[in-house]
């Protein structure tokens, strides 16, 4: 059977961040709550001249350029977001235009909170597996701006960013056998954003419960699809990346996995196994969430990029478990079988470099950026073009005849 999966991957993060120390000071909260309690250190802040479209195009452009892919070769373009810019026109269509992707391409947007990108990825892998002669390359992009509103409990988990993945046969990075995937979904109200609301409504503690319930369900089906007995899954996977709305959610998720996988062991033994497996299998993927915050759809894939940059060639030939969760709720557990000889892909990620290049902003600047919607801010193309750089190739310049303008 021909393998299908991900050939290359790239991330884009906005050029500004606010430190959690500053946020804590402004909110009158002990900084330890954010830094130790949630595990976060910095949150990405997106300026008004960027949006879900520009971040998606900026991530995808890196993939096209570094793989030498002609945009005309892309026959499936999926963009997943819960930060859409139009009720009808897909973010994917804006991206198609910016990247100059041809007309013989299936282009669509997916929404299922943070899970949507995984649904688009699985669909793209399956489509290329089935119709490999007519669809050879797919581009799947996850792009989001997590905003909860000033003073909301979720504010300290905000972030923004986009991840793009190139899907094809004989993938250079990792293959995915989607028949093994474990899925879970249920109609719940844990986090939602009614039409017209600028920020979501969140039942924070309940959302964590829903996440853990979905993890249990997806893991159980995945293990059974693999034909493994309960207790054997932990050793089967070399690394695990959980959806990370905040850093310590990965700790809560991993603890739950240990409880399931080591059921019957005394608490002390479970704690030992948790500590060791967390530092070996989970911690190498945490850099992104700690530095950027929640990027919703792209969160788990930012974890993959963090892992690759930290562990480098150690990931070659390894099995990586991926848990994707979206509120509402839908979840899927997948296995990435890593290829060998991936050094050049890792070298081209430049994630740490992007993080280092960012500028720290003050709490007042953050408040200015986030108190206006993009509809209220207009830039002149000349002014906006000065915001471009090596990673920021596309910027938003305002509206003309109700049409969003990008350069």
Whether residue 243 lies in the annotated active site: yes
Nearest Cα residue to 185 out of 324, 21, 296, 369: 324
Closer CB to ligand CAA, residue 112 or residue 243? 243
Q: Shortest gap between Cβ of 110 and ligand CAA (angstroms)?
A: 16
Helix (H, G, I), strand (E, B) or coil at 341: coil
When binding is defined by CB under 6 A, the residue of 117, 161, 182, 245 that contacts ligand CAA is 245
Instruction: List the structure tokens of 345.
Output: 């892909």
Counting contacts by CB under 6 A, is residue 274 touching ligand CAA? no
Q: Shortest gap between Cβ of 153 and ligand CAA (angstroms)?
A: 4
Q: Shortest gap between Cβ of 315 and ligand CAA (angstroms)?
A: 24
Nearest Cα residue to 19 out of 353, 356, 290: 290
Helix (H, G, I), strand (E, B) or coil at 330: strand
When binding is defined by CB under 6 A, the residue of 325, 333, 370, 379 that contacts ligand CAA is 325
Whether residue 105 lies in the annotated active site: no
Counting contacts by CB under 6 A, is residue 153 touching ligand CAA? yes
Whether residue 82 lies in the annotated active site: yes
Closer CB to ligand CAA, residue 255 or residue 388? 255
Alpha helices in 176-280 (DSSP H): 204-226, 233-236, 247-261, 267-277
Counting contacts by CB under 6 A, is residue 186 touching ligand CAA? no
> Which of these segments, 205-213, 257-265, 279-287, 372-380, binds ligand CAA (CB under 6 A)?
205-213
Instruction: List the structure tokens of 128.
Output: 């290329």
The CA distances from residue 113 to 149, 316, 329, 338, in Å, are: 17, 31, 8, 27
Provide the mask over 282-321, with x wherever binding to ligand CAA is found by CB under 6 A and - wherever it is not.
------------x-x-------------------------
Helix (H, G, I), strand (E, B) or coil at 10: strand
State the maximum Cα–Cα separation within the chain, in Å, rounded to a whole number: 66
How far apart CA 101 and CA 201 sit, in angstroms, is: 36
When binding is defined by CB under 6 A, the residue of 12, 184, 191, 406 that contacts ligand CAA is 191
Q: Shortest gap between Cβ of 264 and ligand CAA (angstroms)?
A: 24
Nearest Cα residue to 323 out of 406, 227, 249: 249
**Which residue of the set 20, 22, 50, 82 is catalytic?**
82
- Give the neighbor-by-neighbor strand order of the sheet with 16-19: 42-45, 16-19, 359-360
> Which of these segments, 48-56, 65-73, 167-175, 198-206, binds ligand CAA (CB under 6 A)?
198-206
* DSSP at 112: B
Contact criterion met (CB below 8 Å) for 335 and 319: yes
How far apart CA 38 and CA 30 sit, in angstroms, is: 12
When binding is defined by CB under 6 A, the residue of 41, 76, 327, 397 that contacts ligand CAA is 327
Chain positions contacting ligand CAA, by CB under 6 A: 30, 32-33, 36-38, 114, 153-154, 157, 190-191, 202, 204-205, 207-208, 211, 243, 245-246, 249, 294, 296, 325, 327
Active site amino acids: 82, 114, 243
């Amino acid at each position: 059977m021909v393998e299908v999966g991900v050939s290359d991957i790239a991330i884009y993060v906005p050029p500004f961040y606010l430190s959690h120390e500053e946020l804590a000071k402004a909110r009158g909260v002990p900084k330890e709550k954010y830094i130790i309690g949630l595990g976060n250190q910095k949150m990405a802040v997106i300026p008004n001249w960027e949006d879900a479209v520009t971040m998606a195009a900026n991530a995808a452009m890196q993939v096209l350029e570094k793989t030498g892919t002609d945009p005309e070769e892309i026959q499936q373009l999926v963009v997943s977001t819960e930060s859409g810019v139009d009720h009808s026109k897909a973010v994917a269509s804006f991206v198609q235009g910016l990247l100059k992707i041809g007309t013989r391409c299936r282009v669509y947007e997916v929404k299922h909170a943070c899970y949507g990108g995984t649904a688009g990825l699985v669909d793209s892998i399956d489509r290329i597996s089935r119709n490999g002669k007519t669809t050879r390359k797919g581009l799947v992009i996850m792009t989001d701006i997590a905003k909860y509103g000033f003073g909301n409990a979720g504010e300290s988990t905000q972030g923004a960013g986009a991840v793009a993945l190139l899907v094809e046969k004989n993938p250079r990075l990792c293959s995915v056998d989607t028949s093994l995937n474990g899925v879970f979904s249920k109609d719940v109200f844990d986090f939602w954003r009614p039409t017209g609301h600028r920020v979501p409504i969140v039942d924070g503690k309940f959302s964590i419960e829903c996440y853990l319930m979905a993890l249990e369900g997806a893991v159980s089906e995945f293990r059974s699809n693999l034909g493994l007995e309960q207790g054997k899954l932990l050793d089967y996977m070399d690394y695990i990346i959980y959806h990370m709305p905040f850093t310590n959610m990965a700790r809560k998720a991993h603890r739950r996995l240990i409880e399931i996988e080591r059921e019957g062991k005394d608490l002390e033994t479970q704690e030992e196994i948790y500590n060791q497996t967390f530092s070996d299998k989970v911690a190498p993927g945490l850099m992104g969430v700690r530095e950027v915050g929640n990027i919703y759809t792209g969160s788990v894939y930012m974890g993959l990029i963090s892992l690759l940059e930290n562990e480098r060639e150690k990931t070659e030939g390894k099995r990586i478990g991926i848990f994707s969760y979206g509120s509402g709720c839908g979840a899927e557990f997948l296995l990435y079988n890593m290829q060998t000889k991936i050094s050049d892909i890792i070298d081209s990620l430049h994630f740490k470099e992007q993080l280092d290049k960012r500028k720290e902003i003050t709490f007042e600047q953050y408040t200015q950026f986030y108190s206006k919607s993009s509809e209220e801010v207009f830039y002149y193309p000349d002014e906006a073009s000065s915001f471009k750089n090596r990673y920021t190739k596309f910027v938003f310049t305002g509206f003309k005849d109700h049409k969003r303008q990008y350069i």
